Amino acid sequence: MTPIHPASLSPLRCPNPSPLRFSRTELRFAVVMAASSVPISTRPRRKAAPKSRRDASEAADLVRVILRKSGDAKEPLAATLSKFVRVVRTEHCFLLFEELGKRDRWLQCLEVFRWMQKQRWYIADNGIYSKLISVMGKKGQTRMAMWLFSEMRNSGCRPDTSVYNALITAHLHSRDKAKALAKAIGYFEKMKGIERCRPNIVTYNILLRAFAQAGDVKQVDTLFKDLDESINSSDVYTYNGVMDAYGKNGMFKEMEAVLMRMKSNQCKPDSITFNLLIDAYGRRQAFHKMEQVFKSLLRSKEKPTLPTFNSMITNYGKARLKDKAEYVFTKMVDLGFKPSYITYECLIATYGYCDCVSKAREIFDEMLSTQKEVQISTLNAMLDAYCMNGLPNEADQLLDYVINRNMVPNASTYKLLYKAYAKANMKELINNLLKRMDEQGIVPNKKFFLDALEAFGSTEAKPESSTVDVSSNQQTEA
């Protein structure tokens, strides 16, 4: 078909301006012929994405643009927001709070908040304050969370359950746990006396997990009794949170009692329940129980997930049971699971624990050659394998190698190496490391050097593993 160009769509000029007359039959024939000349697609139309999903995607894109434009610190975030003043609304600010919180830029959350308050569309509501209090709490800024709570009341908003839940969580992130738990219970009792602030299941879940983490079995039992007498009902998150906290403390008796309570209340364990039980037993090297839970998982309607296998590989590795760790990896592949980079990190750590550094390096080199981008946590796992086997020079050579391949280490990498070099009393390597940090613009803080002093004081012949938890893929900042 000849393509139609815009010029051909201009009005036709007839040489004879006299009106054209067609009979009814001729007109019908002309319409049919015109319709038949237009190609009709037989492919089904693609369904448009739901508006809410499209809106969420567009909002996330805009937030990424704003963060990128303000990321070079050439102008304040508020100035960047003002450039997009016609499109930025509350939902964009919520996403900004989340992203800035993740990036440890909590002060800029307040900058966004102040900018919001100056906009015509701004209406103070509990949701905004609840979100900000939650972000501040996660960053350990309890005083700032309290100030926001006070600011909310001054703005005319009345606290509700979600605000108190955020405030309780903020206190529980503070360092003084005894004081935080006392404050949390104080707020809990206060909530009971206010109609619009009555505790919900989220409130109970927060408190139950916190007291289980503190090992306060008596208070956990009291909260469960209170929950049973309330209008709320325990859910799978309630039991999983408490069991996970008990399990991490090695309190198996209490953990198993909660599991029995869960089953007696007709609440079925999910895959997370199985995973946390496997991890709890594995951490304490109760491998018989761990394997029993794994077999139960395979027989149940629930299915294992990648974290199931990652946890087992890691815990077998720490116990230097290399063959069992490798068997779990093989089993995982046989069941049709594709290993993630975290799985490979677990294997690298396992070979590090089992004095098989060459095997760990084979995995790392394979990842370098087959993946477009290797995670910093994977590099840290390999460096840690070298360091725990008393090979700081090999670790330093690997660092040079990856930097030459345009890989940029972060603060957690340097902290790991600094501790290892300090423990091995390798002053030349320490000086070179500090130079690299300076070139990259990484400034070590007080904790960085305190950890190093601990390493200097250690007299162990073989260094312990540095603080890189490959099973959870968390990186330690300097």
Confidence (pLDDT) at 9: 37
When pLDDT is averaged across residues 209-238 and rounded to a whole number, the result is 93
The answer to whether residue 168 is domain-embedded is no
Mean pLDDT of the chain: 83
Give one word for 320, left, alpha or beta, with left for phi > 0 and alpha for psi -120 to 50.
left
Confidence (pLDDT) at 85: 83
Q: Is the pLDDT of residue 187 over 80?
A: yes
When pLDDT is averaged across residues 246-275 and rounded to a whole number, the result is 94
More confident residue, 30 or 395: 395
The total number of structural domains in the chain stands at: 1
Distance CA 82, CA 115 (A): 8
More confident residue, 152 or 17: 152
**pLDDT tier at 74, thresholds 50, 70, 90:** low
* Backbone dihedral angles phi then psi of residue 474, each to the nearest 5 degrees: -100, 135
Confidence (pLDDT) at 467: 37
Q: Is the pLDDT of residue 464 over 50?
A: no
The answer to whether residue 29 is domain-embedded is no
**pLDDT tier at 346, thresholds 50, 70, 90:** very high
The answer to whether residue 102 is domain-embedded is no
The answer to whether residue 171 is domain-embedded is no
Supply the CATH number for residue 382's domain.
Answer: 1.25.40.10
**Three-state secondary structure call for residue 474:** strand
Spell out the long-range contacts of 211-219 with Cβ–Cβ below 8 A and sequence spacing 24 or more. 211/181, 212/241, 212/242, 212/245, 212/246, 212/249, 212/254, 213/245, 213/248, 213/249, 214/177, 214/181, 215/249, 215/251, 216/181, 217/251, 217/254, 219/185
Distance CA 420, CA 409 (A): 16
**Three-state secondary structure call for residue 469:** strand
What string of DSSP letters covers 103-170? TT-HHHHHHHHHHHHTSTT----HHHHHHHHHHHHHTT-HHHHHHHHHHHHHTT----HHHHHHHHHH
More confident residue, 86 or 352: 352
Task: Look up the domain containing 438 and give its range.
Answer: 340-478
When pLDDT is averaged across residues 191-196 and rounded to a whole number, the result is 93
The four Cα atoms 181, 187, 189, 193 give a dihedral, to 10 degrees, of -170
Write the pLDDT tens digit of every residue in 307-339.
Answer: 999 999 999 999 999 999 999 999 999 999 999
The answer to whether residue 194 is domain-embedded is no
Model pTM score: 0.73
